[in-house]
Amino acid sequence: MASLNWPRSIVRREGWEHAAGRLQAGELALVGLWGEPRFAHMAVMERETNACAVLSVECDGNRYPSVGRVHPPAIRPERAVRDLLGLEPEGLPDARPWLRHGGAYQFLLAEGESLHQIPVGPVHAGIIEPGHFRFTANGETVVRLEERLGYTHKGVDSLMVGASTDRAAALAGRISGDSTVGFSLAFAQAIEAALEIEIPSRAVWLRGLLAELERLANHFGDIGAVCNDAAFAIMHAHFGLLRERVLRTADACFGHRLMMDRVVPGGLQCDLPPDGDRRVRALVAQVRKDFPELVEVYENTASLKDRTVGTGTLSPALAQQYAAGGFVGRASGRNFDARCTPGYAPYDSMKFEVPVVHAGDVNARVWVRIREVEQSLALIEQILAQLPTGSICAPIATRPDTGVREGAALVEGFRGDIFAWTRVGSDGRVERCHLRDPSWFQWPLLEAAIEGNIVADFPLCNKSFNCSYSGHDL
Amino acid sequence: MRRLLFKSFVQGLLTEPAPTIDDRALAELAARVNQASHKRLGRALSIREVDAGSCNGCELEIHALNNVLYDLERFGLRFVASPRHADVLLVTGPVTANMREALERTYAATPDPKWVVATGDCARDGGVFAGSYACVGGVSQVLPVDLHIRGCPPSPVALLKGLLALLESVTAEGRRSA
Looking at this predicted complex, what is its ipTM?
0.94
Residues of chain A with C-beta less than 8 angstroms from the C-beta of B56 = 129, 176-178, 468-470
Neighbours of B98 (CB within 10 A): 24
CB A30 within 8 A of CB A441: yes
Distance, first Cα to last Cα, chain B: 49
- A&B contacts, CB < 8 Å: 137
Query: Of the candidates A438, A404, A407, which has an alpha carbon nearest to the alpha carbon of residue A422?
Result: A407
CB B78 within 8 A of CB B84: no
Q: Do A171 and B64 touch (CB under 8 A)?
A: no
pLDDT tens for A327-363 read 999 999 999 999 999 899 999 999 999 999 999 999 9
Distance from CA of A327 to the nearest CA of B (A): 20
Q: Are strands A132-138 and A141-148 parallel, antiparallel or unpaired?
A: antiparallel
Q: Do B57 and A180 touch (CB under 8 A)?
A: yes
pLDDT tens for B118-161 read 999 999 999 999 999 999 999 999 999 999 999 999 999 899 88
How many angstroms separate the CA atoms of A23 and A45, rounded? 9
Q: What mean pLDDT do residues A278-302 have?
A: 96
CB A336 within 8 A of CB A322: no
Query: Of the candidates A246, A215, A212, which has an alpha carbon nearest to the alpha carbon of residue A379?
Result: A212
Give the rounded percent of residues in chain A with a pLDDT score beyond 90. Answer: 92
Q: Are strands B147-149 and A115-120 parallel, antiparallel or unpaired?
A: unpaired
pLDDT tens for B36-65 read 334 445 557 899 999 999 999 999 999 999
How many angstroms separate the CA atoms of A411 and A179, rounded? 11
How many angstroms separate the CA atoms of A371 and A364, rounded? 10
Q: Do B57 and A240 touch (CB under 8 A)?
A: no
Predicted pLDDT of residue B21: 58
Q: Do A158 and B132 touch (CB under 8 A)?
A: yes
pLDDT tens for A96-136 read 999 999 888 999 988 888 999 999 989 998 899 999 999 99
Whether residue A379 has pLDDT greater than 90: yes
Q: CA of A231: how far to CAs of A237, A296, A305, in Å?
A: 12, 18, 12
Q: Do B64 and A247 touch (CB under 8 A)?
A: yes
Predicted pLDDT of residue B166: 81
Q: Do A152 and B51 touch (CB under 8 A)?
A: yes
Q: Do A176 and B56 touch (CB under 8 A)?
A: yes
Q: What mean pLDDT do residues A149-176 have?
A: 97
Distance from CA of A180 to the nearest CA of B (A): 9
Distance from CA of B178 to the nearest CA of A (A): 33
pLDDT band at B171 (very low <50, low <70, confident <90, very high): low
Model-level pTM greater than 0.90? yes
Residues 401-420 of A with CB under 8 A from B: none
Distance from CA of A153 to the nearest CA of B (A): 7
Mutate to test the interface with A, among B55, B59, B135, B155 (most CBs of A within 10 A): B55
Distance from CA of B176 to the nearest CA of A (A): 33
Residues of chain A with C-beta less than 8 angstroms from the C-beta of B99 = 122, 130, 151-152
How many angstroms separate the CA atoms of B27 and A278, rounded? 41
Mutate to test the interface with B, among A83, A120, A152, A214 (most CBs of B within 10 A): A152
Residues of chain A with C-beta less than 8 angstroms from the C-beta of B64 = 240, 243-244, 247
How many angstroms separate the CA atoms of A290 and A449, rounded? 32
Residues 251-290 of A with CB under 8 A from B: 251, 257-258, 260
What does the buried/exposed string (b/e) look like for A306-337 if buried means 16 or more CB atoms within 10 Å of the residue's CB? ebbeebbbbeeebbbbbbbbbbbbbbbbbebb
Distance, first Cα to last Cα, chain A: 26
| Half-sphere CA count of B154, side-chain side, radius 13 A | 27
Instruction: List, in sequence order, the alpha helices (H) in A255-337.
Output: 276-300, 302-308, 316-321, 326-330
Nearest CB to A468 within list B3, B14, B56: B56
CA trace torsion A74, A79, A81, A82 (10° rounding) = 140
